[in-house]
Each structure stands twice: as C-alpha cells, then as structure tokens.
Amino acid sequence: MPFIPHTPEEIEQMLATIGADDIETLFDEIPANIRCQSLDGIPPAASEMEIAREVQAMADRDAGALNFIGAGAYEHHIPAAVWQLTTRGEFYTAYTPYQAEASQGTLQLIYEYQTMMTGLTGMDVSNASLYDGASALGEAILMAVRVHRKSKSRKILVPASLHPNYRKAAETIVKHQGIELVELPIDPQTGRIDPTALEQYSGEDITALAIPQPNFYGVLEEADELTAWAEQNNTLVIGVVNPFALGLLKPPGEWGENGADVVCGDGQPLGAPLSSGGPYYGILCCKQAHVRQMPGRIVGRAVDADGKKGFVLTLQAREQHIRRSKATSNICTNQGLVVTASTIHMALLGPVGLRNAAALSMANTRKLVEKAAAIGIAPRFSGEYFHEVALQLGQPAAGVLERMAANNVLGGYDLGQVNPSMADSILVCATETKTDADIDRFIDTLQAAL
C-alpha cells in the first residue's frame, strides 16, 4: 500500500480499539446510494521506478531548446545551493508557521525576505508573498481601493504596456467589486505609456495608476514623471516591477516625490526556475501607512517570555482565518517554498551579484539587437529597454518562430498574440545566461527562418 504503513495486525488492533468490524464500517454515515464505485479512469499504481522513467521521457520530450522567450518569465542562473537547501525536509515539508516556537526557521527566513524585498523596492513593508505577479496586481488594486478611501471612482488606470495576462488576471480578480480598469494606450513610437493619453485624465478622480517597470515590451517607463502626475492628481501609484531589474533600476519607493504606494511584481526572476509558469510568487510591498490593508501573511519580530527575540506571524487581524468576510483578501496558502528559495537566492547573489547579472542581461540584449541590426532587423520601439526588446521582423512572426523552434531555438514571444497589429513582431530576451555563441546562434537561426 503506497505511503500507508499499516500492517494487517495493526489494522485489527486499531479496529478493535474503535470497536468496528472493518474499515468500511467507518464510512457508514455516508449515504449508501451515493457511494462511488471503482475508479476505472485511474491507471493502476506505478512504482517509483516506473513513474520515474515515464516522467523522464516526458521531460526529455520538451527539453533541449535554447530559449530567448521572456514575456514575464525569465531564465536566470540559480545557484545550486538554492534548491538544495530549499528542498531540505525541514523547509520543504513544513507548512504555514502557525506554531511560532516550532517554526523559527521559516519565520526568520520570511522576516529576512521581507527585509530584502523592502530594500529592493525601496518600500516600507513587504508581505510574505502572494500567488504570482498577475494576481498580485489584482490584490494591489483591491488594496489601493481600500486605502484610498477619498477616491470614489474606483477607476484604475492600467496601461496597455502592462503584461496582457496581468491585466486579464487583475480584471478577473477585481471586477466583482465595482472597480473599473481603464486602459491607457501606449505611444506606438516609444513603446511606453502615451503621456498625452494620461494627460486626459488630469483632474479626474482616479483611484490608482499602475506603472510597469520595465513594461511588457521591455521598455523603461518614465516612472518619475508618471508618479509626479499621480501625486498631482491625488492618485495612488501601483508599481509593477521585475525585481531582478531593481538591481539597476530606480526602486519604486523613490519614484516621483514620495514613491509608489503599493508595489507588486513576480518574484520568479529571483530564484524560481521557469518551470512551465509556476510556482513563482507574487511580491507585494507598500508604504507603512497602508500595512493594515495589506493582504497575505506578514512576519514580525517579537519577544518571548524570556525576553529573547524571535519571529511570529503578525497583524493577523487582516486575514481570513480571523476576519472571515471582512478580511483584506481570501488568501490563505501562499508561495512559501518559492519565497524560501528566493531568499536564499538573494543572499547568494548579494547586491553586487544582482547588479552585475542585471547589467549583463541588459548588455546581452543590446548585443543581440546590434547583431539583429546587421541582418536588417530593428527594434519596434524607440524607448530605452532593459533586458527585453520587441523586434520587428517584417513578416508574420508566428511562422518565423515556428521555423526557429524547428531548429531548437525558441526565438521569442509572438506579439501578434497580444495585438494583431504587432503580428510581425517578437519579444526577445537575452539574460545573463546567454553567451556570445548563443546570441550568434539566435541570429543565424533567425536569419535562416526569415
């Protein structure tokens, strides 16, 4: 019996103690007419050896390509130590640290995570994670609406330069609460938020403005100007950031005069493998004043009965298990293990490691753009970019990408999926993992596929 330790003798003894004839008796409160029959749709048990071989074959089937896709999930070097430590049983098989005294490992680690994340973002407070970047944007919007009580419009400006799936997920999450997401178009020239479009909302009651940095197209938004606009218009700022980029970029806590109010993003680039899209984790940070509207777990330092410092889950009165229908969110289980990995990852990178890796990613993408220019391919937008760039191919991107994939190069993300007007463009990212030879291979494969 896989994963069940009982021997026939023990079963007898236990049933005797209970006073039941057989195990089936224990289910006698379930109406007989709805009891289910054998689950013929489930295959027979595979031993570990058997399933290992099957899964290895499935993994092999998808493996082997050189990847230049980013679009919200980025390939980075993850130190070997990160997941070797993270998968230690004590981290891997613990749960939410409800019993603080028996969970100081996880609790201290989260406190360290919160410290690192506030440092990176320049914000006052971080929670212990949400599900992912997209759903974190949804929570950030809900939080902004709760925080900004003076604003009655519940209108949120969400630029078209934001990741399309972030916009969709946020819409899904907030739409039942009378919140309106208003799309802010991009300047087709620069690839960033169109400042004249934003100007139209000046003086209007806008609850919050979301600012992606870098934006979906890899372009750097004029975060200071946008934040200044928001500050003038009594609009909260929600920063949507790639934390990896913050090794080089001005942190949202320093945008404009007073910084962003709420910051969200996806923690994936800091220690989570691509892994088909998850588990990653959602970052959520805010100003001190907003902490009691923050969703999700938060760890605080506390003092014990001996006066010794330690760590506990705190401010739980925001959460569903205490406040139920009045909670700041329904979130319960979060992405703790990925946060564990990410914290170790950040400790191993350190400030210099993060900065240098970010700079190398940026430089690699520039190299790729230069080499693409040599074969007549140019960026679609003029705005400065970080480590990702839209290239205009002059022909349907879908076919080009398919031909590249046939040569085991995943050449980028087809922007036609987002907007038919961009069906001739791809989004390409060359992180620090790419060598000059990789970039040359990209160019050669692209050229052959054009």
Ligand X SMILES: Cc1ncc(COP(=O)(O)O)c(C=O)c1O
| 182-201 residues near another protein, rule: CB under 8 A | none
Q: Measure the CA–CA gap between 228 and 129, rounded to whole angstroms.
A: 28
Q: Closest distance between another protein and the C-beta of residue 203, in Å?
A: 26
Q: Work out whether 406 is an interface residue with another protein (CB under 8 A).
A: yes
CA distance 39 to 42: 6
Member of 185, 203, 277, 399 binding another protein (CB under 8 A): 277
Closest separation in Å from C-beta 66 to a copy of itself: 11
Residue 28 binds to a copy of itself (criterion: CB under 8 A): no
Q: Which does 40 bind (CB under 5 to 8 A by kind): another protein, ligand X, a copy of itself, none?
A: another protein
Residue 183 identity = E
Question: Which of 58, 81, 289, 332: binder of ligand X (CB under 6 A)?
Answer: 332
Among 152, 352, 374, 437, binds another protein (CB under 8 A): 352
Nearer to ligand X, 319 or 414 (CB): 319
- Contact (CB, 8 A) for 405 and 43: no
In the complex, minimum distance from the CB of residue 342 to ligand X, in angstroms, rounded to a whole number: 20
Tokens of 375: 């074969």
Nearest distance in Å: CB 89, a copy of itself: 8
CB 278 within 8 A of CB 284: no
Q: Is residue 227 within 8 Å of 259, Cβ to Cβ?
A: yes
Residue 302 lies near another protein (rule: CB under 8 A): yes
Chain-centre distance for alpha carbon 200: 31
Report the C-alpha gap between 299 and 281 in whole angstroms. Answer: 17
Out of 257, 370, 402, 440, the residue judged to bind another protein by CB under 8 A: 402
**Phi and psi torsions of 259, nearest 5°:** 85, 170
Closest residue by Cα to residue 345 from 353, 355, 335, 333: 353
Closer residue to ligand X, CB minimum distance, 131 or 255:
131
Residue 58 lies near ligand X (rule: CB under 6 A): no
Nearest residue to 362 (alpha-carbon basis) of 448, 244, 264? 244
Q: Under 8 Å CB-to-CB from 421, ≥6 apart: which residues?
A: none
CA separation (Å) from 270 to 81, 86, 278, 419? 14, 14, 13, 29
Nearer residue to a copy of itself within complex by CB, 86 or 126? 86
Confirm or reject binding of residue 289 to ligand X (CB under 6 A): no
The smaller minimum CB distance to ligand X, of residues 200 and 330, is found at: 330
Q: Which does 375 bind (CB under 5 to 8 A by kind): another protein, a copy of itself, ligand X, none?
A: none
Q: Which stretch binds a copy of itself (CB under 8 A): 5-13, 229-237, 331-339, 432-440?
A: 432-440
Phi, psi at residue 240, to the nearest 5°? -120, 100
Query: With CB under 8 A as the contact rule, which of the stretches 192-200, 201-209, 232-240, 299-307 interacts with another protein?
Result: 299-307
Of the candidates 251, 205, 198, 260, the one whose C-alpha atom is nearest the C-alpha of residue 229 is 198
Residue 325 engages ligand X in binding (rule: CB under 6 A): no
83 vs 281 by CB, closer to a copy of itself:
83
Q: Among 179, 319, 196, 188, which Cα is nearest to 238's?
A: 179
Chosen residue from 189, 257, 317, 395 binding another protein by CB under 8 A: 317
Of 150, 196, 305, 420, the one binding another protein (CB under 8 A) is: 305
| Radius of gyration of the chain from its Cα atoms, rounded to whole angstroms | 25
Q: Which window, 105-113, 189-197, 372-380, 418-426, contacts another protein (CB under 8 A)?
A: 105-113
C-beta closer to ligand X: residue 339 or 439 = 339
Asked if 333 is part of the footprint of ligand X (rule: CB under 6 A), the reply reads yes
Other C-beta atoms within 10 Å of 295: how many?
A: 25
Q: Does 58 bind a copy of itself (CB under 8 A)?
A: no
**Alpha carbon separation from 328 to 48, 318, 323 (Å, rounded):** 42, 6, 8
Shortest distance, CB of residue 272 to a copy of itself, whole angstroms? Answer: 16
Among 20, 21, 30, 87, binds a copy of itself (CB under 8 A): 87
Give one DSSP letter per residue of 180-226, joined into a string: EEEEEPBPTTTSSB-HHHHHTTTTS---EEEEEES-TTSBPP-HHHH
* 433 contact, one of a copy of itself, ligand X, another protein, none, CB 5-8 Å limit per kind: a copy of itself
Of residues 110-139, which lie at the interface with another protein (CB under 8 A)?
Answer: 110-112, 114-116, 118-120, 122, 125-126, 128-129, 131-135
Q: Could you say whether residue 279 binds another protein (CB under 8 A)?
A: yes
Backbone phi and psi for residue 73, each to the nearest 5 degrees, phi listed first: -140, 120
List of residues contacting a copy of itself (CB under 8 A):
47-49, 52-53, 77, 79-80, 84, 87-88, 432-433, 435
